[in-house]
Structure 1
């Protein structure tokens, strides 16, 4: 099982869009894919028309059950999506209480990793959508993955959020091997100087850590979310979908076989 975590300590940079689109494209290529929503705002969950406030079980139960969670309980928490081979482990609003309830307890940073190990044989790829704040949820998501995908909107305020994200990963590293990561320039508008300058600054600062292409602004992403459908199913020829398909091919070249 290959696990990618989609994270940035700034909101509105395209984390959920990246998670949904890459997950959908992986499923289209024949892989068994699980999306995990660890954001209390539950944007990924609502994307697929699932009401986070009405869920009986969610990713919250993984944290509350801790080491006692079973494979069967995890599988019962999953919801199918409109795309064949693409499931979601939904979020609930109660995730917002986790830092207060568990933040001071030891050994809380590996709960998600250990839970996903229980369903290792059920999925080829897992994509984890993170909240934009450092806490128990982001720590778990980063600890669980082999690679961090960092969407960065091509404007200068978003570059500051990226600096915080890189600093967070450095703090988590400790004596362990550094986290592998790929920076993805999103919402790129070649007509604006802001996008051009921000992308140039990204490449100059982070060099080979930045994917060599960009995800352009594309209104089809918004339309696909309204239709509660992965973008590749809603508008397969959209330029944004083409960009993510190119990104996926690049990421798979960096990643061992699932």
Structure 2
């Protein structure tokens, strides 16, 4: 059986399209025949809202409950917190209980690996697990990176936003050295690009400044009205506007994600 790939989508800067990208990558992977689990690791619950649960803070079972079970030593059970989405993937909702979990992790043994223990208990049923990280570099993000095989970094197509990656990349390297030696940067990809923000110059600047040290993906996600609408449409861009520019871009991004996964599976096979 092929090894499950666990991917964090992370950037400490908010508003760069993390949740939108997790939704569309997940939906695209499912359309490609992959078994996919999306996990909302953000107390704001934005991904959960996009997936149709408009009041995440009223949900009785979420990721916060599951992480608390790990902390308490409760043996893995049936995982009733996992829900099925109508676009043929599964997801674990998140809500503000995660804020309490994050605060409580300070006093927990192996606090950096609580989420990894949870993911390890569910991932055998999936080809891909995508973790939607909150916009910070706090303990929840450290947990997500500790659980991941690689991280994808969405960056708004603005050069100043691109410069903000430095701190995140430093955190990734620290986690790789100290906690999770298998963690890699899968790639940086640009989001919210339009014709007025010098997209071509930004792409060039990102590649020149970061391309020597980490992969910059070819896909550039455009800023479109239809893409903004999916936060309340209960549909991925592939169903909301399947023939639009944004859907084409996300198809390209899904293809690159699949290529990264296959490349790493090949390396794992060589090691064995």
- TM-score w.r.t. the length of structure 1 is 0.92
1:220 matched residue in structure 2: 226
Shift of 1:157: 3.1
Whether 2:61 is the aligned partner of 1:62: answer no
Whether 2:159 is the aligned partner of 1:183: answer no
Identify the match of residue 83 of structure 1 among 82, 87, 111: 87
User: Structure 1: where are the runs of 5+ without partners?
Assistant: none
Identify the match of residue 17 of structure 1 among 16, 20, 24: 20
CA distance 1:102–1:31, shift in 2 (3 Å): same
Q: Whole-Å Cα distance in 2 between the matches of residues 228 and 65 of structure 1? A: 30
Q: Whole-Å Cα distance in 1 between the matches of residues 133 and 96 of structure 2? A: 14
Shift of 1:73: 4.2
Shift of 1:105: 2.7
1:192 matched residue in structure 2: 197
CA distance 1:228–1:69, shift in 2 (3 Å): farther
1:4 matched residue in structure 2: 7
Shift of 1:69: 4.1
Whether 2:144 is the aligned partner of 1:138: answer no
- For residues 192-238 of structure 1, what are the alpha-carbon distances to aligned partners after superposition, in whole Å with 9 as ceiling and x for unaligned? 33x33322211101115101231111211122222111111211112
Q: Whole-Å Cα distance in 2 between the matches of residues 124 and 177 of structure 1? A: 17
1:255 match: secondary structure: helix
1:186 match: secondary structure: strand
1:211 match: secondary structure: strand
2:127 matched residue in structure 1: 124
Moved more, 96-105 or 172-181: 172-181
Identify the match of residue 247 of structure 1 among 253, 257, 260: 253
Whether the 8 Å contact between 1:62 and 1:69 is mirrored in structure 2 is: no
1:119 match: secondary structure: helix
State the superposition RMSD in angstroms: 1.9
Whether the 8 Å contact between 2:157 and 2:197 is mirrored in structure 1 is: no
Whether 2:106 is the aligned partner of 1:103: answer yes
Q: Whole-Å Cα distance in 2 between the matches of residues 154 and 94 of structure 1? A: 32
Q: Whole-Å Cα distance in 1 between the matches of residues 251 and 238 of structure 2? A: 9
Whether the 8 Å contact between 1:112 and 1:144 is mirrored in structure 2 is: yes
Q: Whole-Å Cα distance in 1 between the matches of residues 242 and 224 of structure 2? A: 12
Q: Whole-Å Cα distance in 2 between the matches of residues 34 and 64 of structure 1? A: 20
Q: Whole-Å Cα distance in 1 between the matches of residues 38 and 103 of structure 2? A: 25
Which structure has more RCO (C-alpha within 8 Å, separation ≥ 6)? 1
- TM-score w.r.t. the length of structure 2 is 0.87
CA distance 1:136–1:182, shift in 2 (3 Å): same
1:33 matched residue in structure 2: 36
